[in-house]
């Protein structure tokens, strides 16, 4: 199956907080068993073809998805904000709170899927007091940017790294060692940072789907 064979669906939503309105796409399959919020990396957003592909696979697996821009359009080119993990984590918590109030998702367990710097924001947000996050998946992420928060993460964490993404592998190994929760580190042979090689993004999507189904779907 080609990565273009599955595409995410959803309706456009706005998540508003103090002095900010975030744009996103929410998709809730019939009988959804959990909801996953996507935290995009630097230079990416809700239109990311890779994250839309992964979201489509999750939706086929019975999971709702929220693809959301954590920065407003006017902020997207501000490099200080692009790499402001504290800000991104707070925006992620804002989106999570919105899901808890949204009728179609308020009953669902929440997970985070983070890519690149978005992975750091996802892990930091999951570690903050009062976070009700049940699973986190990092794709080619920089979890090391959230290092002080990693020992406080309670949600099960899956770190996925490309085998040819040589600078990022040791950073994920360091983060893996710092995590004190249920955790797994998967290195996909032959994959680079963006998992552009044939079949590699499919592997990421299937690993993420299985992880979220394991930890977000209520036990019978």
pLDDT digit string (tens) for 156-199? 999 999 999 999 999 999 999 999 999 999 999 999 998 999 99
For residue 4, tell me if it sits in a domain. Answer: no
Torsion of CA 180, 185, 165, 73, to 10 degrees: -60
Beta bridge partners of 22: 15
Question: Does residue 5 belong to any structural domain of this protein?
Answer: no
What average pLDDT does the segment 77-94 reach?
89
Structural domain contains residue 3: no
Question: 7 vs 62, which has greater pLDDT?
Answer: 62
Give dist(CA 47, CA 72) in Å, integer. Answer: 14
Evaluate if residue 8 carries a pLDDT over 70: no
Nearest to 177 by CA among 159, 198, 161: 159
Q: How confident is the model at residue 6 (pLDDT cuts 50, 70, 90)?
A: low
| Full 3-state SS string of 132-154 | CEEEEEEECCCHHHHHHHHHHCC
Residue 130 region, left (φ>0) first, then alpha (ψ -120 to 50), else beta? Answer: left
In a domain, 164, yes or no: yes
Q: What is the pLDDT of residue 220?
A: 62
- Report pLDDT digits (tens) over 29-79: 999 999 999 998 766 678 888 899 999 999 999 999 999 999 988 887 777
Instruction: Report the pLDDT value the prediction gives residue 1, as an integer from 0 to 100.
Output: 35
The pLDDT value given to residue 2: 41
CB-based contact 178:203 (threshold 8 Å):
no
Is pLDDT above 50 for 5?
A: no
Can you give the residue range of the structural domain that contains 156? 10-216
pLDDT cut 90: percent of the chain above it: 78
CATH number of the structural domain spanning residue 75: 3.40.50.1820
| Overall domain count for the chain | 1
CA distance 216 to 37: 12
> Is residue 39 in some structural domain?
yes
* 81 — pLDDT class (breaks 50, 70, 90): confident
12-22: pLDDT as tens digits: 999 998 889 99
């Amino acid at each position: 199956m080609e990565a273009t064979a599955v595409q995410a669906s959803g309706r456009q939503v706005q998540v508003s907080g103090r002095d900010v309105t975030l744009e996103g796409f929410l998709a809730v399959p019939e009988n959804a068993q959990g909801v996953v919020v996507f935290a995009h990396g630097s230079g990416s957003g809700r239109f990311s073809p890779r994250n839309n592909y992964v979201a489509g696979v999750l939706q086929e697996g019975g999971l709702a998805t929220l693809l959301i821009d954590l920065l407003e359009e006017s902020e997207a080119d501000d490099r200080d904000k692009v790499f402001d993990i504290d800000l991104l984590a707070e925006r992620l918590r804002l989106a999570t709170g919105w899901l808890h109030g949204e009728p179609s998702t308020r009953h669902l367990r929440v997970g985070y899927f983070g890519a690149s710097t978005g992975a750091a924001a996802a892990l930091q947000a999951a570690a903050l007091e009062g976070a009700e996050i049940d699973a986190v998946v990092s794709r080619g992420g920089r979890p090391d940017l959230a290092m002080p928060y990693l020992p406080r993460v309670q949600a099960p964490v899956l770190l996925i790294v490309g085998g040819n993404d040589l600078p990022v592998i040791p950073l994920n190994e360091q983060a893996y060692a710092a995590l004190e929760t249920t955790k797994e580190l998967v290195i996909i042979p032959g994959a680079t940072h963006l998992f552009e090689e044939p079949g590699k993004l499919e592997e990421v999507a299937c690993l993420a789907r299985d992880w979220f189904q394991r930890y977000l779907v209520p036990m019978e």
